Amino acid sequence: MLGTAILGAICGMLGSFAVLRKQSLLGDAISHAALPGIAIAFLITGVKDSNLFLLGALISGLIGTFWIRSITKNTHLKSDTALGLTLSLFFGFGMLLLTFIQKQPNASQAGLDTYLFGQAATLLAKDVWLIAIVAGIALLILLVFWKEFKILLFDEDYTKTLGFNTRFIDILITTFIVITIVLGLQTVGVILMSAMLLAPAAAARQWTNSLEIMVILAAIFGAFSGVVGTGISTVVGNLSTGPVIVLVASGIVLLSFIFSPKRGLLFREIRFRKNRNNIKMQKTLAFMYEIAKTHEHISHPHAIKILNDFQGFSKRSLQELVDLSYVQINGQQWSMTQKGFTTAANLYNQQIEDTHE
Amino acid sequence: MNSAQITIQIIVTLVAIACAIPGTFLVLRKMSLISDAISHSILLGIVIGFFIVEDTSSPLLIFLAALAGVVTVILVEFIQKTGLVKEDTAIGLVFPALFSIGVILISKNANDVHLDIDSVMVGDLSLAPFDPLLINCQEGIADSCVNLGPKAIWVVGIILIITLTLLFAFFKELKVSTFDAGLAAALGFSPVIMHYGLMTVSSITIVGAFDAVGPILVVALMIAPAATAYLFTKDLKKMLLLSCFFGVIASIAGFWLAYIIDASISGSMTTVLAVLFLLVYEPIITSVVVSFLTGVGIIFYQWYTFLMAQGIELDKMLLGKKIQTVFSEFIFLDYFYIFVMTSIFSATLIYILPKRGLIYGYYKVRQQKTEIMLLVFLLHIRNHTEESERHVKHLNEHINWQRLRSQSIVALAEKNNMITVTDQIISLTEKGDDFTEKAIDYIITNKDTEIEEMKDDFFLFRG
């Protein structure tokens, strides 16, 4: 559980960078690209040592990443095609090697495919330590190069003109993303790794516009989904850990999408309605103003029916106008108050000012 | 070839073509990764379908799986439309979630039945010929069925026919909506319908091919041939044909590769696809590497059989050990010339390939450099009327060229009758003046192709 928590945190942390750099699906591609590395590592050594597999996966993941980079740079193929190519071709090659391994006479190859789907239950204390150490190093590097990372994210050209070595920073962060992915493979598996990298970051993005807070939030979300996911899967028997973690993370994303105060769908809808009502009310008021202007006395009563010609009118908006004491209603008649008149006059001026700004 | 082999080859060919056609459009529409997303989330459809009918061969499963694919696309679009995240993030959020639900449903409910992730996620082609489509079965009577041949042929064949029909029927619409959605909408055919139509076809194709080659490899068959073809051509029809061609080549070659090394067919198909792509993308390195590996493979195999014949029990060893043993007995120099020959042969072949070879590329870059330098030179001459600026020796300082280079440019310009040099003072001829003026026009308006015409007009680089 500790392992998944740390893993979730580090995924969230680094995932923030991936998401902001529009490399969201890099995780997906890399986690698939790691397969041939694992297979080759086994083919050559014949030992089922997880550190060795990690090394193999790391190497082939890095090759995949730089392949993606060079394809998008050198050809007119777009990054999605490059990602898809890397993902499927590497994975296919990995499958070839896996089936080739399975045909080999010695029988110790069983269990290679747990890497495909991941089992957090198989995590040993040793692995947790490894994850923790990598997380620590990643955190350290993140803190040391914070300024560079941040500036690289938002304005690459500017970074270059400032004299930073963008290539180095780029390679550094990509390498760490790849390392994380490779570490995560064992826990949540190839297919779900991309969600682990993405979901916490995407959720955190909804709550803040600041990179610092986003990274911290993403780490918290990641750790939370790791803990809760593992917890659920141990309490409810027969559930594989990876998918549960992913679902928890997806749930967090969903909640963030709906409830985040600034960007969330719920509040946006509320804001939207409020604005619409406001506009409706202002339109009615402006209409009334136009009528009232033509009369000597502004509080001259008019029939409500007149407003029927006008679409912005509704019982609710009228009531609101009364509440704001812009308008008085006597039976079927309405009349404007002095306050309403000035507001409407100012409203008109204000609008003109707004458009001129 | 026995009949099973022929059947498999027919199936892989059909799958390759059926995948290559929607794949081309996906690549062009920058939606390649949607295919990956669909291929994962159809698991959910299959699982739900399985719980409803408890039968892995029911057509309802295929229907629900395709539906799950379309649902994925709709969800991705929806999340993207909210503007909260970018499209790729939306894809990355949707399909793992759906896939996870599928996996959890399986592990929760289907333990006692024959449905596990491996069997769903990794297809096996070698069994396809032995899974016949049986119709008209009567209860209780054995062999009463009419055997229509392998089911996969029927499934993929029907999908291919549908795809082809739709392609021919809506080619124009697809083309316009792919390259200019706005124009398509203005012309009156809805890009939205085209989009979802394409998604539905892709989804159905993925589901159909899924059984045969497994999901990831469907993605490979969709993207890789199209991407390879896209490197060759920008003409849509040619691209479609080429991607079908690459798909078919890779499928058949992949089948035989799998046959030789005794490994999964879909895996080796993907490997061939990868090699094909690399051959087009990075011809020199790939050809050298491939020929080198083949050379090593052949030599290794010869030594392997040789050692086996001597009674060393190599086949019980691991590959790593095997390599060690074989190479410890191996005298490298004997075979060195094979490496050299194959490498040199393929390298030279690629080097001199027109338009793609390294030498051609180098030449072209140099030529373009010279063109630009000539242009700069002519502009300089045109802008300066005073004689001191137009002295031959003066150019070195002013345009910052090395002496040798400036000399060659001057020589080139002179050869093209663009300048005349009298007493080391350069002046533009009428032709040079004309050319420079046109060049300025070109630079200002930045119209493509004009510079090519200009070259024709002035016989540049043709003495």
Nearest neighbour of A91 by CB, restricted to B107, B118, B216: B216
Average pLDDT along chain B: 75
Residues in chain B within 8 Å Cβ distance of A204: none
- Chain A partners within 8 Å of B33 (Cβ): 25, 28, 80, 83-84
**pLDDT for the residue B397:** 65
| Closest chain A CA to residue B229 | A77
| pLDDT > 60? residue B455 | no
Mean pLDDT score, B335-351: 66
B residues 59-118 lying closer than 8 A (beta carbon) to A: 79, 82, 84-86, 88-89, 91-93, 96-97, 99-101, 103-104, 107-108, 111, 117-118
Inter-chain contact A192–B217, Cβ cutoff 8 Å?
no
Q: Count the Cβ atoms, other than its own, within 10 Å of residue A147.
A: 10
The candidate with the shortest Cα–Cα distance to B6, out of B256, B263, B272, B262, is: B256
Q: What is the DSSP letter of A123?
A: -
User: Are residues B220 and A88, on separate chains, in Cβ contact within 8 Å?
Assistant: yes
Of A233-247, B232-246, B328-342, the one with minimum mean pLDDT is B328-342
Residue contact B271–A206, C-beta within 8 A: no
- Within 8 A of A22 by CB-CB distance, chain B residues are 86, 88
Closest by alpha carbon to B149, among B8, B265, B1?
B8
At B411, the pLDDT band (50, 70, 90 cuts) reads confident
Per-residue pLDDT band for B129 (boundaries 50, 70, 90) equals: low
Does pLDDT of B384 surpass 70?
A: yes
- Averaged in consecutive runs of 10 residues, what is the pLDDT profile of chain A (357 residues)? 75 79 78 84 74 84 86 82 88 83 62 58 70 83 82 77 76 82 74 79 84 86 85 76 83 85 79 80 74 69 65 65 72 72 70 53
User: How many angstroms away from the CA of A22 is the closest CA of chain B?
Assistant: 7
Cβ distance of B103 and A78 shorter than 8 Å: no
Give B262→chain A minimum CA distance, Å.
7
Closest listed residue to residue B225, CA positions, set B201, B204, B251, B202:
B251
**What is the predicted pLDDT for the residue at A113?**
59
> Is B96 within 8 Å of A194 when comparing Cβ atoms?
yes
Q: Is the pLDDT of residue B463 over 50?
A: no
Q: Output the pLDDT for position B240.
A: 92
CB contact under 8 A, A243 and B104: yes
The tokens of A354 are what?
Answer: 């707004």
Interface test with A, best of B15, B29, B32 (most A CBs within 10 A): B32
User: Are the beta carbons of B267 and A94 separated by less than 8 Å?
Assistant: yes
The answer, for B223 touching chain A at a CB cutoff of 8 Å, is: yes
**At B355, is the pLDDT very low, low, confident or very high (cuts 50, 70, 90)?**
low
For A:63-82, CB contacts with B below 8 A are: 71, 74-78, 80-81
Which burial class, exposed, middle or buried, applies to B246 when counting CB atoms under 10 A from its CB (0-12, 13-18, 19+)?
Answer: buried
Please give the Cα distance from A95 to B31 (Å, whole number): 24
- Contacts A246 to B, Cβ<8 Å: 96-97, 100
Contact B97 A247 (CB under 8 A): yes
How far does the CA of residue B361 sit from the closest CA of chain A (Å)? 13
Distance CA B44, CA B60 (A): 13
Q: What is residue B140's predicted lDDT score, i.e. its pLDDT? A: 54
State the Cα–Cα distance between residues B287 and B453, nearest whole angstrom. Answer: 36
Tell me which residues of chain B, numbers 111 to 150, contact chain A at a CB-CB cutoff of 8 Å: 111, 117-118, 121-122
pLDDT tens readout for residues B162-217: 889 988 888 888 888 888 878 888 887 777 888 888 888 888 888 887 776 777 67
What's residue B462's pLDDT?
Answer: 42
Residues in chain A within 8 Å Cβ distance of B223: 81, 84-85, 88
d(CA B409, CA B419): 11
A85, A100, A119, A206: best to mutate for the B interface, most B CBs within 10 A: A85
- Residue B125 confidence class, pLDDT cut points 50, 70, 90: low
| Mutation target vs B (from A48, A71, A191; most B CBs, 10 A cutoff) | A191
What are the pLDDT digits (tens) for B266-320? 888 888 888 888 888 776 677 777 777 777 777 777 777 777 777 766 666 666 6
Strand partners of residue B147? B134
d(CA B276, nearest CA chain A) in Å: 11
Query: Are A117 and B117 an interchain contact pair (Cβ–Cβ within 8 Å)?
Result: yes
- Asked whether the predicted pLDDT for residue B114 surpasses 60, the reply is no
Q: Does B33 touch chain A (CB under 8 A)?
A: yes
**Which residues of chain A lie closer than 8 angstroms to B40, CB-CB?**
191
A240/B107 CB distance under 8 A: yes
Question: How many residue pairs bridge chain A and chain B with CB atoms within 8 Å of each other?
Answer: 208
Minimum Cα–Cα distance from B110: chain A residue? A238
Q: Do A92 and B273 touch (CB under 8 A)?
A: yes
Q: Strand runs (DSSP E) across chain A, as ranges?
A: 302-303, 327-330, 333-336
Contact at CB, A250 and B100, closer than 8 angstroms = yes
Nearest to A44 among B268, B277, B320 (CB): B320
Helix (H, G, I), strand (E, B) or coil at A188: helix
Minimum distance, in Å, between the CA of residue B181 and any CA atom of chain A: 18
Task: Assign A77 to helix, strand or coil.
Answer: coil
Beta bridge partners of A327: A336
Q: Long-range contacts made by residues A287-290, C-beta under 8 angstroms, separation at least 24?
A: A287/A312, A287/A313, A288/A327, A288/A334, A288/A336, A288/A340, A288/A344, A289/A336, A289/A340, A289/A341, A289/A344, A289/A345, A289/A347, A289/A348
**Token reading at A315:** 């019982």
Residue type at B409 in one-letter notation? I
What is the ipTM, given to two decimal places? Answer: 0.79
**Of B323 and B259, the one with more pLDDT:** B259
pLDDT computed for residue A299 by the predictor: 67
Angle between helices A50-74 and A125-144 (to 10 degrees): 40
Check pLDDT > 50 for residue B244.
yes
